[in-house]
Amino acid sequence: MKKIGFLLALIFALTNAAQAQLGDVKQTPFKKFTSNFKRAPKILTFGWSIIDDNGTPYKDIFAPKSHTINIIPLTFNYDIYYRKGIFFNLKGSFCNFKKNKIVNGVAIDNANLFFALDFNTSLSLNYVYNINYALLNLNNNIFDIRLIGGIGYTNRNIYVFNHAANLNFGGGLYGRFSKEFGMNIELVSKFGLKSKLGETNTNYIHSSIGVSYFIGSVKYK
């Protein structure tokens, strides 16, 4: 009886191992990739944008006259965690340039729409040096500082540099009020690809602030 029981247990174990192996074979790299993304922590943010697009974005940065702010929260962020502190991000923003606003060095005649769509990658500095544990003695990742880089498209409904692709470089901060809710602040320099980087009026500074909803949590090792 003991031998029969041992053989049955061995057959059961081998059957489970074979099924597991077959399952691994059937799961393609693409399925593994999409499966990991479905389980990955995500952050959804809605908020406001501040656009400094007067043609001289690196002068009078703190001058409100050169800024355009959307009153209605028409900026959204969607972050999804990849690994090793890396997030992928989709960001969309709408604003309305008011009449006589200086845009790309020109006073516009009528109110015009501004739209930006960006695909960014960000690196959490908490993965490199977690300030929550090391400096603030906090057990949770309440503060998350990010370095941001990516590409995007900007459309201005004006007759000077009305649309352009751009490179994005900047930084951001996520803060958590609770397990699910927090806030996001970002400041990103966008370099238009109409001509030489840094020498075109298509460059501008895009800042944003918003309320965030966290789906899952990242534990940095």
pLDDT given at position 170: 96
Residue 122: beta bridge partners?
87, 148
Measured distance CA(48)–CA(46) in Å, rounded: 7
The verdict on 150 and 71 lying in the same domain is: yes
DSSP-derived secondary structure for 176-209: ESSSSEEEEEEEEEEEESSSSTTSSTT-EEEEEE
Q: Over the stretch 2-60, which tens digit does the pLDDT of each residue have?
A: 545 554 454 455 455 544 554 444 566 666 666 667 788 999 999 998 887 766 656 66
The verdict on 107 and 68 lying in the same domain is: yes
Residue 220 counted as domain residue:
no
The verdict on 56 and 163 lying in the same domain is: yes
Residue type, position 120, single letter: N
Strands 204-215 vs 181-192: parallel, antiparallel or unpaired: antiparallel
Q: Over the stretch 61-115, which tens digit does the pLDDT of each residue have?
A: 555 555 676 667 789 999 999 888 899 999 999 887 766 566 666 666 666 778 8
The verdict on 105 and 8 lying in the same domain is: no
The verdict on 119 and 91 lying in the same domain is: yes
CATH of the domain at 126: 2.40.160.20
The verdict on 105 and 170 lying in the same domain is: yes
DSSP class of residue 98 equals P
Measured distance CA(26)–CA(157) in Å, rounded: 50
The verdict on 35 and 49 lying in the same domain is: no
Residue type, position 60, single letter: D
Measured distance CA(154)–CA(115) in Å, rounded: 6
Structure tokens that stand for 119 in this block: 């695909």
State how many domains the chain has.
Answer: 2
Residue 106 counted as domain residue:
yes
Residue 221 counted as domain residue:
no
pLDDT given at position 7: 47
The verdict on 103 and 138 lying in the same domain is: yes
Measured distance CA(132)–CA(42) in Å, rounded: 20
Residue 35 counted as domain residue:
yes
Name the residue with higher pLDDT: 175 or 25: 175
The verdict on 184 and 203 lying in the same domain is: yes
The verdict on 106 and 28 lying in the same domain is: no
The verdict on 50 and 13 lying in the same domain is: no
Of 119-128, 137-146, 212-221, where does the model show the most confidence?
119-128
Measured distance CA(24)–CA(32) in Å, rounded: 10
Q: Which of 176, 172, 206, 173 is nearest to 191 (CA)?
A: 206
Are 92 and 116 spatial neighbours (Cβ–Cβ below 8 Å)?
A: yes
**R_g of the chain, CA atoms, integer Å:** 24
pLDDT given at position 135: 73
Residue 66 counted as domain residue:
yes
Residue 63 counted as domain residue:
yes
- Whether pLDDT at 151 is above 70: yes
Residue 180 counted as domain residue:
yes
Measured distance CA(193)–CA(189) in Å, rounded: 13
Mean pLDDT of 137-143: 75
The verdict on 28 and 129 lying in the same domain is: no
**Which structural domain range is residue 56 located in?**
41-215
